[in-house]
């Protein structure tokens, strides 16, 4: 199993707009329907008002890598460029 904690460090005051844009795009629902996805959940950081945490788990690394080649993942990259200062990934 592979788990990634992805912390999106959003531009000041943009966390809510980024989260809404992700929801409107259907990123979570699409990802949850992909083969091998066990978890794809977003969390708001209480102490960091501009951070959004994504916890995603996959049955195997190859299926997570396939996720990174999807059309919706490519669209997510555009949203990250618009709303985020940086992204930090911890892999387990």
pLDDT tens digits along 50-65? 999 999 999 999 999 9
pLDDT tens digits along 10-34? 999 999 999 999 999 999 999 999 9
CB 4 within 8 A of CB 64: yes
| 3-state SS string for 3-51 | EEEEEEEECCCCHHHHHHHHHHHCHHHHHHCCCCEEEEEEEECCCCCCE
User: What is the pLDDT averaged over residues 39-51?
Assistant: 96
Q: Which domain holds residue 36?
A: 2-91
**At 80, which CATH number?**
3.30.70.100
Number of domains composing the chain: 1
Please tell me the predicted confidence (pLDDT) of residue 28: 97
């Amino acid at each position: 199993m592979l788990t990634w904690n992805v912390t999106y460090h959003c531009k000041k005051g943009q966390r809510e707009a980024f989260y809404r844009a992700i929801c409107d795009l259907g990123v979570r629902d699409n990802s949850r329907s992909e083969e091998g996805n066990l978890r794809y959940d977003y969390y708001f950081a209480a102490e960091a008002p501009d951070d959004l945490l994504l916890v995603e788990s996959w049955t195997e690394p190859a299926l997570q890598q396939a996720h990174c080649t999807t059309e919706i993942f490519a669209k997510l990259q555009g949203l990250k460029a618009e709303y985020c200062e940086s992204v930090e990934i911890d892999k387990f």
